[in-house]
Chains A and B, each alone.
Chain A
Amino acid sequence: MTFHDLAYDAGKTDFQRKAEVIGVGREGELLEVAMGPQHPSTHGVFRMDVVLDGETVVKLKPVFGYLHRNHEKIAENTSYLGSMPYTDRLDYFCSLTNNWAYALSVEKLAGLQVPERAEYIRLITAELTRVLNHTCLAGFLLQDMGALGTPLMYAFREREKILDLIESLTGARMMCNYMRFGGCRCDLPAGWLDAAKKVVAEYPRFLDEFETLLSGNEILMARTQGVGKLSAELAINAGITGPMLRASGVDYDLRKVDNYGIYSRYPFRVPLGSHGDVYDRYMIRMLEMRESLKILEPALKDIPEGPVVDPKAKLRGFRPKAGEAYGRIETPKGELGFYLISDGSPNPYRYRVRPPSLINLTILEDMCLGQTVADAIVTLGSVDIVLGEVDR
C-alpha cells in the first residue's frame, strides 16, 4: 500500500479503506474513536481520530493546534533577541538546542563569529540535552507500554542530575534562554566543569543498568519488534529526521552532514537501524546517548579559556542587513530549522520554525494502519513529539 492509494482518497468511505487495509471478508462494525486531546498517552494535548475495526486501526488522522499561539507572528512583532526566550517553549525538553538553532540562523543572517569557548559550551550543553531527552523518551515509551512508573522514575532521576547542571549554568531548569547571537549569555560558573565531568563519568553506569533491565526484556521486545515499521524510502520522502530516520537505516545526521559548530573535531559514530520499527527507534536512542557521552568526555577536558560572546555582536539595536537565511541543527528530535528574512528593521520580516516533531507526525497514519490500538500508542510514543513544538 502506498501513500497515493491511501492519502488521496478523499472520496473513499471508511469501509472501502477497511477493505484495503485489512482485506475484504471480515465483517463488522467500524468504530470511530477520538483519542485525546486529554489522554495520558498522547504526550500533551493531541488528538488521534481513529477508525477501528475491532481493535485494528483502519484510519488515523492526527489533530493538533490546541497549543497554537502563533509563535511566528509573535516573533515577527518583536526584536530578534526578544524571541530567544520564546524558543525555549517550542520543545521544552530541549530548550538549549532550540536556542542554538535560532542563534545559528541569526548568525548566518548577520555573519557573526562565535568564540572558541562559546562553541565548546554550545556543544557540551547540546549533547547534555540530547542525553537528557533520549533518557526521558525511553522512560515515556515504556510508560506507554504499561511499565508504569519505575522506568520513568529511573529516567527522571538521571534527568534531574543533568537539569541541576543546566540550572547552575543558566539559572533555569528548562526555560534556559542561554544562547546569544555570537556566543552565550554567561560563562560557566566555578566548579561547573568538574560537576559535569562527574555526571558524564557516572552516566554509562546508569545506561548499563537501564539496558540490562530493558533492552533484552522479553515483553519490551514483543511489544516493539515489528511494530510501526517505516521504510527508508518513505522516511526520506516524508522528510523524517532524527533518530526516527536513522532507525530506518538512512545515514543522515546533520552533525556530520553540515558540520556546524565544532562537531568535526570529535569522532563519533552514527548508529543506524535495520528494521525501522519501534524497537530500533528505542535502541538508536540508547546508542546515541553513548555516542554523545563519547563526545562530552573529551570536550569537557579540551574547553579553552576566553570570551563567551563575540565582542562585535550587538545586543541592543541589532539590525541585520536585508537578506534571508535558513539555519538548521540536529536536535534530539530531528532537524530543527529557522528560516529568517530580514528587511533591515529591528524585527524579522519573516520568522519560520521548521518543527521536527510536526513533520515526523506526517507518516503516523502509515505506520499505524492495520495494527492494533495498543500498538498505535507505542508507535506514537516512539515518534517523540512535544506539542509545544508541533503547535507553536
Chain B
Amino acid sequence: METLEQIKARAEATVPGAQLSVVKNDSPCAQHSLLVDVEHAYVVAQFLRDDPQLRLDYCSNVTGVDFLDAELSEKVKVKKVVDGVEKEVEEVKKTKRAGYLEVVYHLYSMSLKHGPVILRQRTPGRADPVKVASLTPLWRSAEFQEREVFDLYGVLFDGHPDLRRILMWDGFKDYPMRKDYREPDDYEYEPTPHDEVLEKAKAHLPKQEVKA
C-alpha cells in the first residue's frame, strides 16, 4: 500500500480545497492517521473508498475521543543576557490548547486486503453543537457506531439517517464518555444533608463566578 503521505497528496489533488494533515503516532506500531477537515470529510472518504488503488471498502471501527482544554508545556531554547553574557537558556513555554472532540475511522480494504488507513475528523470545540460529517452513506457499518459516538460523546453527525441514542435510554441527558462527565450520586437511602453529601453535591452545581 502507498504511504500516508502519498495518499494525502493524491487526495489533495483529487479534492480541491481539502485540508489534510498527517497525525503522527509515536507507538511502536506506527499507525499514523489522516486528519481531514469536516467540510471535505465526506468527499475525501468517498475518494478513499472508490479509488482503484486503495479501495477501502470496509470501515472497521468508528469511535470518538475527547480531548479536554489543556495546557501544553514545551521546552524552548531562548537566548538571554545573563550577568552581561549572552547565553542559551532552556525555558518552558506554555501554550493553551482548546479542547476538541475527534471521530476516528479505521478503514481497511477487503478486496485488496490492506489497511488500516485511519481517518480523523476534529470538531472546533467541545461546546454544543459539535458537528462532523456522517460517513454512514458511504459505509453502512458506521451506522450503529456513529450512533454510539453521538450517544456517548454528543457528536452530531451531519447526514446520518437515524441519529438516536443507542445504548443509553432516550430520556438520558448527558454524554457519559466525555472526560468531564460526572456520574450522579445515587443513594439507596434517603440523602441526609450532612457535610459529606453536601460536599459531593456541590460538584453538580453550576460553577459560580466569584465576584470581586
Residue ranges of A at the interface with B (Cβ–Cβ < 8 Å): 3-4, 7-8, 10, 64-65, 68, 70, 72-73, 108-111, 234, 236-240, 250, 252, 257, 320-328, 335, 337, 339, 341-342, 349-350, 352, 354, 358-359, 361-363, 391-392
New A-B contacts (11) at CB < 8 Å, excluding given A72-B177, A325-B31, A339-B104 = A3-B140, A10-B162, A68-B168, A70-B152, A110-B28, A236-B111, A252-B58, A323-B26, A325-B27, A337-B61, A354-B106
B26 touches A322 (CB 8 A): yes
| Cβ contacts under 8 Å, B28 to chain A | 108-111, 323
Residue of A nearest to B163 (CB): A10
B65 touches A321 (CB 8 A): no
B60 touches A239 (CB 8 A): yes
Within 120-161 of B, Cβ neighbours of A (below 8 Å) are at 137, 139-145, 152, 161
Within 158-177 of B, Cβ neighbours of A (below 8 Å) are at 161-162, 166-169, 176-177
Q: Chain B: how many interface residues by the 8 Å CB criterion? A: 37
B63 touches A352 (CB 8 A): yes
| A-B pairs with beta carbons under 8 A, tally | 117
Bound-state Cα–Cα, A342 to B27, Å: 9
| Cβ contacts under 8 Å, A236 to chain B | 57-58, 110-111
B6 at the interface (CB under 8 A from A): no
B192 at the interface (CB under 8 A from A): no
**Secondary structure type dominating chain A contacts:** mixed
B140 touches A354 (CB 8 A): no
Residue of B nearest to A238 (CB): B140
B44 at the interface (CB under 8 A from A): no
B106 touches A337 (CB 8 A): yes
Bound-state Cα–Cα, A182 to B102, Å: 30
| Cβ contacts under 8 Å, A327 to chain B | 29
Q: How far is the CB of A236 from the nearest CB of chain B, in Å?
A: 5
A65 touches B177 (CB 8 A): no
Residue of B nearest to A62 (CB): B144
B59 at the interface (CB under 8 A from A): yes
Bound-state Cα–Cα, A337 to B115, Å: 14
B3 at the interface (CB under 8 A from A): no
| Contacts A109-B27, A325-B31 given; does A362 touch B65 at CB 8 Å | no
| Cβ contacts under 8 Å, A10 to chain B | 161-162
Residue of A nearest to B63 (CB): A352
B20 at the interface (CB under 8 A from A): no
Bound-state Cα–Cα, A111 to B29, Å: 7
| Contacts A65-B167, A239-B58, A321-B26 given; does A362 touch B63 at CB 8 Å | no
B167 touches A362 (CB 8 A): no
Q: How far is the CB of B117 from the nearest CB of chain A, in Å?
A: 11
Bound-state Cα–Cα, A238 to B29, Å: 27
Within 15-37 of B, Cβ neighbours of A (below 8 Å) are at 25-29, 31
Bound-state Cα–Cα, A341 to B57, Å: 25
B167 touches A108 (CB 8 A): no
